[in-house]
Structure 1
Amino acid sequence: MRIWTRSRVLVALFAVTALVIAACGTRVDHDSIVRAADTGAGPAASDVAPGEPGSVADAPGATADPDSDPTTGEAADSGRGDGPAGERGGSSGDAGGAKGDSGGDQGGATNGEPIVIGTVGAYSGPGGAALAQGARGLQAWGAHVNANGGINGRPVKVIVMDDGGDAAKARSLMKELVEEHNAVAAVAAMTVVETLNSWKGYVHEKKFPVVGGTCGPEWVKAPMLFRQCPSSANQIYGTALVGAKHGDGTKFGGLFCSETQSCTYVEEQLFDKGGAKRAGLDPVYRARISVFQADFTAECIQARNAGVELFMVIADPNTVERVTSSCRRQNFTPQYLQMSSTMRPQFASNPSFENGLVSMSVFPFAGLSTPAFKEFAAAWERFGDGNAPGPAAAQAWASAKLFEKAASSAGSEISRSSIVTQLRKLRDERLGGLTVPLNYDSSGVSDVPCTYYMRIAGGKWTAPEGDDLTCW
């Protein structure tokens, strides 16, 4: 049992660190993501004619009104009509294989053949704690699009495929998405490193575009992977720059998990390669920790004695919370400087994080008033999971809006090749302030050195600079 527990925690950590060097939603287990994807008793999306009523998703906290226009579109797996509703690759306790779709042809103002897209990601099990809101964010976008006439009048069908963090299953599901469902693209690929590497070569071979996702270092020089984020190195440096520009002090310290290379990568970028110092911080302390530690008293005392004012913890959110609790018991209350994936939305109410600074690789998930953000907030309010959105939801929404931009520009000829063509035409595209400026060429995305930032103030998430970017 102890070995099983360690493996579960490590899978969760791999999921989080994929986002740490890329972009934590609420914890959603396998059954919850299935419920979020299934319509329950309603017909499959492919069985519902335009304008006919479907059923509202049986998801925790779903806010869609079943008496209104039923545009949640979250029917069971049907692809282009093949496969029974509710088909799953495993039992409800299995880590992967669950599939669901969102959109279908339920939007009253849509007509024609659905535009089929999908996502393959670690949406259940331990990894689901960090990534599940990504699946929900993509479904919310699909439902919102269909409620507003679709794309060029055509409905969108979103197929959610849960690999549970299993690399072999991830490759199998990606092949199914491409070859059986004939999707035009994968969107918001919320993956861990190991699962993405299992199908990365396959999508290049098939010239199958993957639009947005966790944006880890494996997205570099990948012509079919269109990330919506800066590179991992720039995301890490941007976090240090946020601390130097907005922090209450410059003496910087960090704790880095010892279980994955991803944590080590962040440490190396900030300390060994001088990122923190270049940004204007004074690195005075660092240490390796384990996510299996129950207490971090020694590390907190050492950091306090070193004079740390800005403190970073690179680990899963549970470990981050244990660190802050240990430090508070030692009357050590530094200002925390974090990458978004190490934080849960609920952390805003934790006194330890008051005045905390957080970098974001896409738009802040709270505190904005721009039209692009209001669209996201309205869609999440109606079609989200009933909880406050977090970084993974923002990552997925930005990915979906990027796909929407390309598909809308493609006109009536929406295909894999036309999506790629339209994406490569984009120049300094920010999607209304949802992303850093995006430019794509035949080798992938250019790397724009910019970041967003958020601050916890008064127990709430804020975006003091709105959707303005910190660039260098």
Structure 2
Amino acid sequence: MIGSVGQQSGIAGAVTMNGPKAVSAWVASVNASGGLACHQVRYLVADDGGSPAKHAAQVQQLVERDGVVAFVQMNPALSWSGSEKYLVAKKIPVIGTDTSYDMVYNHPNFFPQASSGKYSVQATVGAVSTSFSPEAKANFGVLSCQEIAACTYLADNTKSLADMFGLTLKYTGRVSITQPDYTSACVAAKNAGVKGLYVVLDANSVHRLARSCASVQYKPQVLTPGTGVTPSMTGDPNLEGFFQGLMVAPFTDPSIPGVKEMTSVLARFAPGLDRSGQTPVGWVSAKMLEHASQFFPAKDALTSADILASMYKVKKFDAGGMTAPLTFTPGENPKPFVCWASTTIRNGAWVTASKWTCK
């Protein structure tokens, strides 16, 4: 029994819910083929509405009432604080997340599948460096939210991050994801001469930003983390040429074995699920568990300790070329890494912009 608790609805859920949906498709595929190491998989997904208190209660309920022995693709971008202590104390494996917090590197029972927290910010700034034109990189700006930890890290380290990737910083701004309009931010960036804008906002806010900038005839190159992307973006003419920075290899490249497999499984078991944003991030989480299943003990009822022991045997696993080689060691915290790719919207569809790169 595995589970996920996080935002499956609302502003945050609009961008994070596809991760668990990808895992659900993987579960259906695995069970259709006889199960995971001869175990049928059950996957329970709970919506905490962004409340840390509700998140804590749901995590405890799934473990103590429902028998969940591991969490796969946890997506509580706004509510992680509710479960961290419980999960650590109970030594419950957490296999993959929405990549929003770097606390996943602080505990040996967490298994991040991609650059997370401040390292995800570094990765997406890296994506800027391999996606933007020379003019955009020489006239770089940052616009971040006020609501999540990754935005605070970005705001506090904007200049050093720009320097890290050879970008010339001309503007920084902070806004709220609840703002109905971003015209003032667009005007400020335009007046600063910004040609390339790195934006960390939710998907609906990105639509409003693009509309606001268009209203003042301002069209910079824009990149946002792919973990905040939704299918609606490809249908917005104001976002033509828009980039998403990816924490895993580009889902648009069928030459990557892991992408080819994911595409095939989703076509059969989740045909309406968009492949951008959190979908491939969730898929890689599921594939981590699948890889570890070869180390499961031969017993009917697996425990959290069994899953942990199996995860610690994962060595240099890259999910068919979709992530950096992952290795986990018993009792040791996971080691951070900074890797990225990017896609761009061209004629209303995602295409590869930059290939998989690690710093």
TM-score (norm: length of structure 1): 0.70
| Aligned equivalent of 2:343 | 454
CA displacement at 1:193 relative to structure 2: 4.4
Q: What residue is the counterpart of 2:321 in the other structure? A: 433
Q: Does 1:279 align with 2:162?
A: no
State the shift of 1:430 in Å.
0.6
Name the aligned partner's letter for residue 337 of structure 2: V
In 2, distance between residues paired with 1:297 and 1:165?
A: 28
Which residue is equivalent to 2:357? 470
Corresponding residue number in structure 2 for 1:416: 304
Given that 1:209 and 1:224 are in contact with CA atoms closer than 8 Å, whether structure 2 keeps it comes out as yes
Conserved? CA contact 1:241–1:280, under 8 Å: no
Q: Which amino acid aligns with 1:184?
A: V
Which position in structure 2 is the counterpart of 1:144? 29
The aligned residue for residue 173 of structure 1 is 58
In the alignment, structure 1 residue 394 sits paired with structure 2 residue 280: yes
In structure 2, give the amino acid aligned to 1:212: G
Give the Å deviation of 1:259.
Answer: 4.3
The structure-2 alpha-carbon separation of the partners of 1:460 and 1:260, relative to structure 1 and needing over 3 Å to count, comes to: same
Report the Cα offset of residue 411 of structure 1: 4.8
Which residue, out of 311, 319, 325, partners 2:211?
A: 325
Alignment partners' CA distance in 1, 2:171 and 2:225 = 18
1:281 deviation in Å? 0.6
Partner of 1:243: 128
| Within-5 A mapping of 1:45-444 | 116-194=1-79, 196-215=80-99, 216-248=101-133, 249=135, 250=137, 251-271=139-159, 274-384=160-270, 386-413=272-299, 414-441=302-329, 442-444=331-333
1:225/1:443 Cα in 2 relative to 1: closer, same or farther (>3 Å)?
same
Equivalent residues, number:
352
Per the TM alignment, residue 261 of structure 1 is displaced from its structure 2 partner at its CA by 4.6
The one-letter code of the counterpart of 2:180 is A
Give the superposition deviation at 1:289: 2.1
Instruction: Give the superposition deviation at 1:464.
Output: 4.4
1:227 alignment partner AA: P
What is the distance in 2 between the residues matched to 1:228 and 1:173?
23
Please report the RMSD computed on the Cα atoms of aligned residues, expressed in angstroms. Answer: 2.1
TM superposition shift of 1:396: 1.6
Alpha-carbon contact 1:230-1:436 (below 8 Å) kept: no
User: What is the Cα deviation at residue 457 of structure 1?
Assistant: 2.3
Tell me, yes or no, if the aligned pair for 2:292 and 2:313 is still in contact at 8 Å. no
- Mapped partners of 1:281, 1:173: distance in 2: 43
In the TM superposition, what is the alpha-carbon distance from 1:123 to its structure 2 partner?
1.4
How far apart, CA to CA, are the structure 1 residues paired with 2:348 and 2:253? 13
What percentage of aligned pairs have identical amino acids?
A: 30
Measured at CA, do residues 223 and 296 of structure 1 come closer, stay the same or move farther in structure 2, by a change above 3 Å? same
Cα distance between partner residues in 1 of 2:132 and 2:71: 38
SS in 2 for 1:237: helix
Give 1 or 2 for the bigger CA radius of gyration.
1
Greater relative contact order, per chain length (Cα 8 Å cut-off, separation 6+): 2
Distance 1:298-1:183 versus aligned 2 partners, 3 A rule: closer
4+ long deviations beyond 6 Å = none
- Conserved 8 A contact 2:117-2:150: no
Shift in alpha-carbon separation, 1:299–1:207, aligned structure 2, 3 A: closer
Q: Secondary structure at the match of 1:439?
A: coil
- Which string of whole-angstrom CA distances, capped at 9 and with x for unpartnered residues, describes residues 139-184 of structure 1? 1111011112212222111122222222222222222222223223
SS at match of 2:83: helix
Alpha-carbon shift at residue 242 of structure 1 (Å) = 2.0
Report the CA distance between 1:379 and its aligned residue: 2.1
Q: CA deviation at 1:260?
A: 4.5
Matched residues in 2 for 1:160 and 1:416: separation?
18
- Unaligned residue ranges in structure 1 (runs of 5+): 1-115
More off after superposition, 138-147 vs 361-370: 361-370
TM-aligned CA distance change 1:169 to 1:424, over 3 Å: same
**Deviations 1:13-70, CA, capped at 9 Å, x for gaps:** xxxxxxxxxxxxxxxxxxxxxxxxxxxxxxxxxxxxxxxxxxxxxxxxxxxxxxxxxx
- The one-letter amino acid paired with 2:84 is K
How much does 1:310 deviate? 0.7
Rate the CA distance shift 1:407–1:121 in 2: closer, same or farther, 3 A. same
Gaps of 5+ in 2: none
CA separation of 1:226 and 1:193: change in aligned 2, threshold 3 A: farther
From the superposition, tell whether residues 226 and 455 of structure 1 become closer, same or farther in structure 2 (CA, over 3 Å): same
Counterpart CA distance in 2 for 1:161 and 1:381 is: 24
Q: Is the 1:237–1:276 Cα contact (8 Å) retained in structure 2?
A: no
Q: Is the 8 A contact 1:368 1:463 kept in 2?
A: no
